């Protein structure tokens, strides 16, 4: 692509930058997720062959970055040796099938509304970013092919419903994971048109506002000026560029970005000040809690897929990554810092969606890159363990209060009903009314399955 973007004057009120660099332009363009739909889907919808109740469903994905300890939280082993069972005790819940850790008391009160899958595993490397990509796309990236995130697939197949983008990541994209690998939170081979809109702000901060959502009167003048400047620059460029796919995509992305930026609906959806103080406090006045509340508001306003990164990186903050030795926290540190925040926000989100009549149309799934080692290490923590871990599903047609699968006596490996990442992705697609056996236009125009052959939804969750 011809490098003319540096000639475009500064964004001014948009973000205060003095130049619109290509990366920044593409980030703005990524607001659009143009809403391209597969002809087969559109034809099926027109013919009444699509279940419209599922067509209207959304998904909120809580990605528990760092890898929670399944043995200390959701798959406890009270009869195992002390170095396996850890310091916490299991407690009964509102579901007769489920016992969970005493450090998640609010989860216990809503256990009839979510179900656990205790037999997850994958064969990816035991490093964070390898798990991030495989758990959010269902595949390891091989042969230079980057598989799209679930939200990007939904964006491609269904498009936007309102002025808001179909796929949003809160509060921002994942940071470093130590493996220097793509994290899977992108459009992949579907293209940047289906990258998520990343908030890039902490909604718990006083005076939180989304910086790129400006009043229409401000944007109107700015848009005319900038469009004319862009047109002048393009006119001076090689004519072949104007007819290229890059030019078409850039122009459409630009229009879609302005559609979001000038939308009254978008500004209202992102405006947490419209929520009563009691509701905000119910979720917790911290970054994760307010992201959960914001996700509920975005889904209410037509966003199809919201991913919330519980943490941004495993470096520089206390996370689920409980190796024990500094700079990481221990099992006790998880109890005192991470669990209260997560317990409060997750339970508030599920209860709020239920009370508003939104839970059946909103799948809430909590995934992670892996679990933790069966034995407590000498530092009082647990290390990376992709061989077995637990995830949860609620809403979106899922029956609550169930346990799917079983791990062995020490939580080291699946003992019954093993589940792989492709099965989890297929489960999300099933809830959203997508055919997991369908194909996308892959690299080079070759058909590319939504999930790997042989992977299927966890149907026990729905019946």
pLDDT tens profile 149-181? 999 999 999 999 999 999 999 999 999 888 889
Q: What is the mean pLDDT of residues 121-150?
A: 96
Contact 325, 80 (CB under 8 A): no
Structure tokens, 241: 């560029």
The mean predicted confidence, pLDDT, of the chain is: 85
pLDDT score, position 102: 98
Count of structural domains within the chain: 2
Query: Is 63 within the bounds of a domain?
Result: yes
Q: Give the residue numbers spanning the domain of 422.
A: 52-213+265-461
pLDDT score, position 50: 53
Query: Is 456 within the bounds of a domain?
Result: yes
Which H helix or E strand runs over 128?
A: helix 128-137
Q: What is the mean pLDDT of residues 359-376?
A: 98
Helices 421-431, 128-137: axis angle to 10 degrees equals 40
Q: What is the mean pLDDT of residues 440-448?
A: 92
pTM of the entire predicted model = 0.84
Residue 417, pLDDT above cutoff 80:
yes
- Bridge partners of 366, per DSSP, are 62, 392
Statement to judge: residues 220 and 147 lie in one domain:
no
pLDDT score, position 337: 94
Of the listed ranges 175-179, 181-185, 252-256, 397-401, the one predicted with least confidence: 252-256
Statement to judge: residues 156 and 141 lie in one domain:
yes
pLDDT score, position 3: 33
CA distance 410 to 388: 10
Environment class of residue 8 by beta-carbon count within 10 Å: exposed (0-12), middle (13-18) or buried (19+)?
middle
Instruction: With cut-offs at 50, 70 and 90, classify the pLDDT of residue 18.
Output: very low
Top pLDDT among 246 and 72 is at 72
pLDDT score, position 263: 86
Structure tokens, 216: 């229409």
Top pLDDT among 28 and 377 is at 377
Statement to judge: residues 101 and 224 lie in one domain:
no
Statement to judge: residues 98 and 125 lie in one domain:
yes
pLDDT score, position 170: 98
3-class secondary structure, 117? strand
pLDDT score, position 384: 98
Statement to judge: residues 277 and 416 lie in one domain:
yes
Contact 461, 115 (CB under 8 A): yes
3-class secondary structure, 428? helix
Q: Which has the closest alpha carbon to 188: 412, 421, 441? A: 441
CA distance 301 to 270: 10
Statement to judge: residues 65 and 208 lie in one domain:
yes
Instruction: With cut-offs at 50, 70 and 90, classify the pLDDT of residue 68.
Output: very high
Structure tokens, 171: 């509060």
Statement to judge: residues 349 and 326 lie in one domain:
yes
Backbone φ, ψ for residue 375 (5° rounding) = -100, 140
pLDDT score, position 135: 98
Residue 138, pLDDT above cutoff 50:
yes
**DSSP letter (8 states) at residue 226:** H
Contact 91, 102 (CB under 8 A): yes
Q: Which has the closest alpha carbon to 183: 63, 27, 268, 327? A: 63
Instruction: With cut-offs at 50, 70 and 90, classify the pLDDT of residue 234.
Output: low
């Amino acid at each position: 692509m011809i490098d003319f973007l540096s000639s475009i004057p500064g964004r001014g009120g948009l973000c205060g930058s003095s130049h619109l660099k290509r990366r920044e332009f593409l980030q703005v363009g990524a607001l659009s997720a143009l809403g391209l739909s597969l002809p087969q889907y559109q034809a099926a919808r027109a013919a009444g062959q699509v279940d419209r109740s599922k067509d209207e469903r959304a998904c909120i994905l809580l990605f528990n970055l760092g890898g929670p300890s399944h043995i200390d939280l959701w798959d406890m082993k009270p009869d195992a040796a002390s170095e396996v069972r850890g310091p916490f005790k299991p407690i009964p819940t509102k579901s007769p099938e489920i016992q969970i850790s005493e450090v998640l008391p609010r989860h216990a009160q809503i256990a009839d509304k979510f179900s656990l899958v205790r037999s997850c595993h994958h064969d990816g490397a035991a490093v964070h970013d390898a798990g991030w990509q495989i758990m959010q796309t269902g595949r390891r990236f091989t042969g230079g092919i980057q598989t799209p995130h679930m939200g990007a697939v939904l964006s491609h197949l269904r498009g936007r419903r309102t002025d808001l983008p179909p796929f949003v990541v809160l509060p921002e994209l994942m940071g470093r994971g130590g493996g220097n690998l793509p994290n899977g939170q992108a459009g992949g081979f579907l293209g940047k048109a289906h990258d998520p809109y990343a908030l890039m702000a902490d909604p718990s901060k006083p005076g939180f506002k989304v910086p790129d959502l400006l009043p229409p009167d401000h944007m109107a003048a700015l848009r005319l000026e900038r469009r004319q400047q862009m047109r002048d620059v393009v006119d001076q460029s090689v004519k072949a560029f104007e007819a290229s796919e890059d030019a078409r995509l850039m122009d459409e992305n630009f229009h879609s970005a302005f559609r979001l930026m000038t939308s009254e609906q978008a500004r209202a959806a992102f405006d947490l000040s419209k929520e009563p103080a009691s509701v905000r406090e119910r979720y917790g006045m911290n970054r994760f809690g307010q992201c959960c509340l914001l996700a509920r508001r975005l889904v209410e306003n037509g966003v199809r897929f919201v991913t919330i990164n519980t943490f941004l990186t495993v470096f520089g903050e206390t996370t689920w990554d409980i190796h024990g030795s500094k700079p990481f926290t221990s099992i006790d540190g998880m109890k005192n810092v991470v669990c209260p925040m997560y317990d409060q926000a997750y339970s508030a989100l599920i209860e709020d969606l239920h009370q508003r009549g939104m839970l059946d149309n909103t799948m809430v799934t909590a995934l992670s890159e892996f679990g933790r080692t069966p034995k407590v290490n000498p530092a009082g923590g647990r290390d990376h363990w992709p061989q077995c871990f637990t995830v949860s599903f609620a809403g979106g047609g899922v029956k609550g209060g169930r346990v799917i699968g079983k791990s062995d006596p020490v939580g080291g490996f699946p003992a019954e009903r093993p589940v792989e990442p492709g099965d989890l992705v297929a489960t999300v697609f099933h809830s959203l009314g997508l055919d997991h056996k369908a194909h996308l236009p892959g690299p080079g125009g070759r058909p590319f399955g939504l999930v790997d052959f042989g992977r299927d939804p966890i149907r026990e969750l729905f019946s």
